[in-house]
Chain A
């Protein structure tokens, strides 16, 4: 034996440590993976040993391997073991590993709850610190809920080191468990004024994070932050606060006014660039928020722009970048002040740093006007030619398009110029943005009617020169523009100069190398073109031309019929048949042109991007309901081939069937129209779309925006020539300039005339200074057709919000007084009074920050306050009476009326009174309306005090601050009171325990239970008798096991779908004088319920309880069970084996127990709103059942609380002596109760979608009440 130990420790010496591992990996560069896999094997061996040092070493190495990308989740359990080591060294290693690789779905996390709680309350501050740090990385909703209260206690720890960590981690807790925000917030607020700067900074940090997402809830903190801003010297804190103000000002412009002066001062005084920059940023935010009402802040804007210019001109690239970034924010509201720095920004376009160039591009976006658009774009086009990287060039391209198309082509005065820019852009090599250019072409051509003639001509040239684009088109996306070109030429073919030539270009054999969807458009539009040509030629006397065209179609189309692309093939063969038929008719000299072109008649109007979403859902329609029951497994398999087919269905198809003969077509059309008219989901583009087949398209009532113009359309005679001479767009720039000059001259003339005329009349002078925006008139008569929306579209514009945003849950009103139900869940099982008292501590301290307000009544407000006090007093008295009453009752019940509970309840109630929301708001108003900006806080305070306060309830916040010392005193005296109470309670507890040992409850025994648990569901009027869910499981002379009946379900989401998990918490208490170790917990699995064991262990292996018990100590372990069916209650037999170790001997012992899973334990408390509840009941899916309880002798709200607590229900609604309650099983069954009481009879009507479950739950409820 001894030999083995020696051997073990020698082995240990030769284990690799982290450094050895790293060195080894570095020495095995060639076969690293192989080397690491042997290392992992070694680590696995090491983890199997008992020695914790070896395990810790192994875990440390795993952390390194995790960094290299190896999944180490298999060692999660070992990591937990190392975390629970008592030595700091190992604990730290364990927590580090956990923080690197644990996440919400790591199942062993739930085993750590107690360990973490233990560490949090460790006397060693670094144990606590390590636990907090680790927890911050892997906190889950369950952990957050269970530990929130512990962490909150730590926020008032004596060591600032712990305080700041506790404060920071609260943010993570809020995210995972939003309910904790309101109870914890007062204390968090308190920490803003912590004496330690680190803690203060942490609190500022957390509140800033919270406020960033939901700023409006934190407006009331503005005065406090303002004070901090003017007093703090910590730049980190300042930056955070200033950033926060940046988020708050848009909500409260008055705040902005107050801020401007101190911020300007900071800008002038600070030497720290980071602070300067943030100040400028916030000033900008303020100016933006003020921009509507306050014109006289130009000085501040100038200051900002001037400072930013200094940043941009700095040689430090970082400052330059940030300067540009901030500039772009000013741009939105004060474009004029930025536009004066155009030189600087254009200069930045040439910077060698790509990030800076991109920022400068962003700025350009806002700097364009009708006047300079062409000039700027010209510059950009030069950059495009020069740019070396494709990414930058692509960025330029998108920017050009963005700039031009912004706000509905607002700045484009000449669309011919724009089209030619687009055409020039198509010559870019290797761009990915072909589709972007294409969509612009389509958009402009469709929406700007006047440009169609020009666009069609340009597109025809593009099609003709397609080989220039397609030369290297396989790689790049530029051929997408051909899609647009073909479509435009087809759709607006009536404008084509030489349609036959274009048709020929579209049917070249080379087209077959284009991507399928483009070919399809080619084919389809060739048909449109064909129709137009026929129409043109039929007028002529010579019919041969028409026949030739048909012949050409017939010759060329077979190429497409053979296409591998289904879409192309289908369209081609349809059209081929059609053309053949037409040819036959032509040979018989039948006029066909009319009918053929009818196929393609009508306007196509653009549909707004979100149109589909905005169709209102008609009443009484449930989109989520099945129309047909979903098919069973086997059926869906049969249908598979069909599904594949539909998948391949073309994306770009336009619903035009050309193969069917006209009559059939007409019939179908009629039917479809009928259907569409009756179908609420069909987006009727506009009434015009229904007239698609009328010859004269009724486009008059299409909404048309702006533009009225005098200058006639002027198409330059020059045919677009590609490589030679000036690029087209440049010619346009010249033309445009000339045009403008002319216009200006004309205007001047006119004005002169006017002036002459006016001189005779009133002497109103009009300065014709530099040309202003409005003076430039577009070159064309242009209609820009707006996109269409469905009829009665919903105005909602909140589609951008991410429904999964975790911060949404934190949108909580923090000014409302705390309700009684809002408490952090407190663990109360631990046989000592400690956790409980800490909970109360928490409550008491919650109360304190608001306490001073009550006390801080000043003379001037005495009148009202006195009234308030009177009211309070009377309430208190009433309550005392009630309490007395209550005490009696509780005696009857056999429970202990615990004074502290009553006490805390009372303080709560009182504290809730003075801080109503309205008071808070008016506080803020008062502070904000306090116009003179105080230079320091003291002054602020005096100002606030001196100012007459006619609206008496206002203005408490400012006053309460000087009174803090008092506040702390009261707190101290309170805590001493608390101590006494605690002692008292402990005594009581001991007595109780003695009692307890005498009976053996088996389940749900506790009428007046042994400890109090805060239950979240009940009214405020009367305190409740304490309750507990823990019941005695088994006990012998050595050990006592208490079980909290399977209450919680960890991962609810996962559970609702498949097999469900139930967690059983068991408290082990060592009652002997010996040391208990090697505890194994084993349960005989039934078919339905299984204990979850770690991977690799057999179905009969026990689970090691992850702790040992010294004499007199208790601890809690949690075990996870998988349960198949939850409709029936179950009993599981189990055994606990353990070793009892005395000084001289050690013996094996075992303890049998029975685990009783009631149906109740499968229910989870789920809140339900009354309207949802009503809907549920109406739905008719639920089976009902009812039960009557006789002789129930307790107040109604106790009864409800009991049901809530023991059976996991929540109250939906309560009216007098009648209440509806709701709960949900882990497998998603709804359980609804209607509880009515009259005298001593309680009747419960229940509904549930699973009758067996319901029956059992009702039985259990009955049993609960029969026991008391």
Chain B
């Protein structure tokens, strides 16, 4: 079972949180802080497993994480999950799941995508992990399902229908400050040499 999936940046700001067991909001934040504290002080060249998160789980639970550019992807899992499998799940080799999926769906994922499209990331994640259990590891399948659902949303006019979008363009112009250029460029995700599945 996966107990939680946390994504936060180098400063510990949450970018996506998904708990598969209920924790009150303040507890959730505490867990994020603790996890960040544990993970951030580790070098990049040490192993990606970590025991000792006291708030979540207990001794049977492990943190498995990867650090990409400005983001940490942390999975809290129990002993029924395969450590390397989850690492693969977070990353590439097995079937290019999580990060790769983001990559494909957003064409080049960067932190900003996550920030502004948290809901979309959630929808993708829902196709990968459900209720704490891995639902699908085949990337093509995941992408296909996500795309169909996005098309459905489009056909319904999306959350903000077309006229509203036009207005939002106007609205942006009327703003005292046009959004600054906040693109921090593409982040190349380096693929560590893990043997492929």
Given A89-B156, A104-B22: A277 in contact with B82 (beta carbons within 8 A): yes
A22 at the interface (CB under 8 A from B): yes
Which B residue sits closest to A212, measured CB to CB?
Answer: B80
Once the chains bind, are A236 and B94 in contact (CB under 8 Å)?
Answer: yes
A:11-43 near B, CB below 8 Å: 12-14, 17-20, 22-23, 26-27
Binary contact track B104-145/A, C-beta < 8 Å → 1, others 0 = 000000000001101100110010001111111110010001
Q: Are B133 and A322 in contact (CB under 8 A)?
A: no
Inter-chain contacts of B46 with A (CB < 8 A): 317, 352-356
Q: Can you list, as one digit per residue, whether each of A854-897 has a CB less than 8 Å from chain B (1) or not (0)?
A: 00000000000000000000000000000000000000000000
Smallest Cβ-Cβ distance to B32: which chain A residue: A69
With a cutoff of 8 Å between Cβ atoms, the chain B residues found around residue A234 in the complex are 137
B138 engages A171 (CB within 8 Å): no
Judging by beta carbons under 8 Å apart, are B179 and A23 in contact?
Answer: yes
Inter-subunit contact B47/A321 (CB<8 Å) = yes
A278 to B86, CA, bound (A): 13
Encode contact with A along B148-186: 1 for CB under 8 Å, 0 otherwise. Answer: 110011001111110110011001000001010010000
Separation in Å of the A342 CB from the closest CB of chain B?
22
A89 to B163 Cα, complex, angstroms: 17
Q: A67-B14, A68-B14, A69-B28 are in contact. Are A317 and B195 (CB under 8 A)?
A: no
The answer to whether B133 touches A171 (Cβ under 8 A) is yes
Asked if B159 contacts A69 (CB within 8 A), the reply is no
Task: Return B127 CB to nearest CB of chain A, in Å.
Answer: 9
The yes or no answer to A439 lying at the interface (CB within 8 A) is: no
Q: How far is the CA of A932 from the CA of B70 in the complex (A)?
A: 55
Cβ of B133 and Cβ of A14 under 8 Å apart? no
Q: How far is the CA of A136 from the CA of B51 in the complex (A)?
A: 27
B47 touches A164 (CB 8 A): no
- A132, A206, A274, A277: the one within 8 Å of B133 (CB): A206
Partner of B85, one of A96, A103, A274, A321: A274
In-complex Cβ contact of B136 among A53, A198, A316, A353 (8 A):
A198
User: Which residues, 184 to 216 on A, are CB-close (under 8 Å) to B?
Assistant: 197-198, 201-202, 205-206, 208-209, 212
Q: How far is the CA of A89 from the CA of B134 in the complex (A)?
A: 24
| A133 x B119 contact (CB < 8 A) | no
Which residues of B have CB within 8 Å of A528?
Answer: none
Do the beta carbons of A318 and B48 come within 8 Å of each other? yes
Given the interface pairs A67-B118, A165-B135, A198-B141, the reply to whether A239 lies near B85 with Cβ below 8 Å is: yes
Q: Which of B6-64 contact A (CB under 8 A)?
A: 14, 16-18, 20, 22, 24-26, 28-29, 43, 45-51
Per-position 1/0 for A287-300, Cβ under 8 A of B: 00000000000000
Tier of interface size on chain B: 35 or more
Distance in angstroms from B110 CB to nearest chain A CB is: 14
Contact A274 B94 (CB under 8 A): yes
How far apart are the CA atoms of A13 and B169 in the complex, in Å?
11
B47 contacts A318, C-beta separation under 8 Å: yes
Is B131 a contact of A126 with CB atoms below 8 Å?
Answer: no
With a cutoff of 8 Å between Cβ atoms, the chain B residues found around residue A27 in the complex are 177
Residues of A close to B17: CB separation below 8 A:
67
Q: Cβ of A70 < 8 Å from any Cβ of B? A: yes
Q: Report if A205-B25 is in contact (Cβ < 8 Å); known contacts: A17-B160, A53-B159, A352-B46.
A: no
A46 to B43, alpha carbons, bound, how many Å? 46
Q: Is B149 a contact partner of A126 (Cβ separation < 8 A)?
A: yes
Distance in angstroms between the alpha carbons of A511 and B165 in the assembled complex: 76
- Specify which chain B residues have a CB less than 8 angstroms from the CB of A20 in the assembled complex: 168
Complex interface bits, A681-707 against B, C-beta within 8 A gives 1, otherwise 0: 000000000000000000000000000
Whether the Cβ atoms of B50 and A355 lie closer than 8 Å is yes
Closest residue of chain A to B166 (Cβ to Cβ) is A13
The prevalent SS among residues of A at the interface is helix
A13 touches B167 (CB 8 A): yes
Tally of chain A residues near chain B (CB < 8 A): 78
Confirm or deny: A993 has a beta carbon within 8 angstroms of a beta carbon on chain B: no
Contact at A19–B167, with CB atoms within 8 Å?
no
| Contact of B194 with A63 in the complex, beta carbons under 8 Å | no
Check: A272 CB closer than 8 A to any chain B CB. Answer: yes
CA of A553 to CA of B16, assembled, Å: 67
Q: In the complex, what distance in Å separates the CA atom of A96 from the CA atom of B123?
A: 8
Bound-state Cα–Cα, A1157 to B29, Å? 44
B132: chain A residues at CB < 8 Å are: 136
CB of A1156 within 8 Å of the partner chain: no
Nearest opposing residue in chain A for B14, CB measure = A67
A273 contacts B123, C-beta separation under 8 Å: no
The reply on B5 being an interface residue by CB < 8 A is no
Most buried by A among B18, B130, B153: B130
CB neighbours of B182 from chain A (8 A): 26
Residues of B within 8 A of A205 (CB): 133-134
Given contacts A22-B115, A88-B152, A88-B153, contact A272 B195 (CB under 8 A): yes
The reply to whether the CB of A57 lies closer than 8 angstroms to some CB of chain B is yes
A499 to B47 alpha-carbon distance, docked (Å): 54
Q: Tell me how far the C-beta of A803 lies from the nearest C-beta in chain B, rounded to whole angstroms.
A: 16
B115 nearest CB neighbor, chain A only: A22
Is there an interface contact between A88 and B156, defined as CB atoms closer than 8 Å? yes
The answer to whether A103 touches B22, judged by C-beta atoms less than 8 angstroms apart, is yes
Nearest chain B CB to A806 CB, angstrom units: 11
Contacts of A563 in B (CB 8 A): none
Complex partner residue of A235 from B94, B126, B131, CB under 8 angstroms: B94
Tell me which residues across on chain A come within 8 A of B187, comparing CB atoms: none
Q: How far is the CB of B196 from chain A (nearest CB, A)?
A: 8
The answer on a CB contact under 8 Å between A137 and B85 is no
Q: How far is the CB of B136 from chain A (nearest CB, A)?
A: 6
The answer to whether A209 and B84 touch across the interface, beta carbons within 8 angstroms, is no
Q: A13-B167, A96-B122 are in contact. Are A317 and B47 (CB under 8 A)?
A: yes
Closest-CB distance, A566 to chain B (whole angstroms): 33
User: In the complex, what residues of B have CB within 8 A of residue A206's CB?
Assistant: 133
Q: CA–CA, A201 to B152, complex, Å?
A: 27
* Shortest Cβ distance from residue B7 to the other chain A in the assembled complex, whole angstroms: 10
Residue of A nearest to B138 (CB): A198
B25 and A70 contact, CB distance less than 8 A: yes
Q: Which residues of B contact A209 (CB under 8 A)?
A: 1, 80, 133
For residue A1004, give the distance in angstroms from its CB to the closest CB of chain B: 39
On whether A66 and B84 interact (CB within 8 A), knowing A14-B167, A164-B136, A168-B130, the answer reads: no
Residues on A with C-beta less than 8 A from B100 are: none
Q: Shortest beta-carbon distance, B190 to chain A, in Å?
A: 14
Residues in B neighbouring A257, C-beta threshold 8 A: none
- Contact between A13 and B163 (Cβ–Cβ < 8 Å)? yes
State the Cβ distance, A387 to closest chain B Cβ, in Å. 16
Query: Could you tell me if A69 and B29 are in contact, using CB atoms closer than 8 angstroms?
Result: yes
The answer to whether the Cβ of A87 comes within 8 Å of any Cβ in the partner chain is yes
- B119 near A63 (CB under 8 angstroms)? yes
Nearest CB in chain B: distance from A606 CB, A: 27
Whether A318 and B49, one on each chain, are in contact in the complex, defined by CB atoms closer than 8 angstroms, is yes
Residue of A nearest to B82 (CB): A239
Verify B84–A273 contact, CB threshold 8 A.
yes
Kindly state the separation between the CA atoms of A88 and B116 in the bound complex, as whole angstroms: 21
Give Cα A1099 to B65, complex, Å: 52
Contact A243 B135 (CB under 8 A): no
- Give Cα A132–Cα B148 distance, bound, in whole angstroms: 17
Which residues of B are found within 8 Å of A271, using beta-carbon distances?
A: 195-196
Contact B168 A133 (CB under 8 A): no
22 contacts between A and B (CB under 8 A): A13-B167, A13-B171, A18-B116, A18-B119, A69-B26, A71-B25, A87-B156, A88-B153, A89-B156, A93-B119, A96-B123, A103-B22, A137-B131, A198-B141, A209-B1, A209-B80, A235-B197, A239-B85, A274-B82, A274-B83, A318-B87, A322-B84
**The 4 A-B residue pairs with the shortest CB-CB distance in the complex, in nearest-first order:** A136-B131, A274-B84, A317-B47, A103-B22
Having A18-B116, A209-B80, A318-B47, one finds 6 other A-B pairs with CB under 8 Å, namely A22-B118, A92-B123, A168-B133, A212-B80, A272-B197, A317-B47
A positions within 8 Å CB-CB of B: 12-14, 17-20, 22-23, 26-27, 53, 56-57, 60, 63-64, 66-71, 87-90, 92-93, 96, 100-101, 103-104, 126, 132-133, 136-137, 161, 164-165, 168-169, 171-172, 197-198, 201-202, 205-206, 208-209, 212, 234-236, 239, 243, 271-274, 277-278, 316-318, 320-322, 352-356, 358
